[in-house]
Amino acid sequence: MYRIIGADGRQYGLVLPEQLRQWIREGRAVATTPAQAEGTPDWKALNLFAEFAGDFPPPPAPPPPPAASPAPIPGTIVPPPNPVVASKASSKIAAGICGILLGGFGVHKFVLGYTGAGIAMLLISLLSCFLLYGLMHLIGLIEGILYLTKNDEEFVRVYVDGHKAWF
């Protein structure tokens, strides 16, 4: 005979193993329900009793791992990355980081080939005895963020092919 602690925190029993199995089938007792065999001082989970171990359903199977990427639809053609765009956009990360870190000196402009704009930013910072460095750095920071947030195609279209030197 057995005692159990119900979900309500109350103690039930002494009950026969058949009654306990009925409660398991009804869902009134689960694998983790605390139980005590008559004449023993220890309480343990109901599924740890050998006579009840087979009465609980097996645990649910883990969900399958998510797919790495959706499979292309049969019959569709996935275009490969454009090597021309990739080569033209190779300076995007360098220009973006230089704009964020060294924007007040116009280094990002030199990386992109905008020598005139780079010299202008450098001279404004130097000739103002760094009084206008903060403004030049803010411009460089904004431009660096803009470079890094654009995809390669847009970056090439606007800053490489379009020759947009400012913002």
Taking only the tens place, the pLDDT of each residue in 4-42 is 998 888 998 899 999 999 988 888 888 899 999 999 999
Cβ(4)–Cβ(12) below 8 Å: yes
Taking only the tens place, the pLDDT of each residue in 65-108 is 776 666 667 777 766 677 888 888 889 999 999 999 999 999 99
CA–CA distance, 8 with 28 (Å, rounded to integer): 11
| 162 pLDDT more than 70 | yes
Crossing angle of the two packed helices 133-149 and 92-102, in degrees rounded to 10: 150
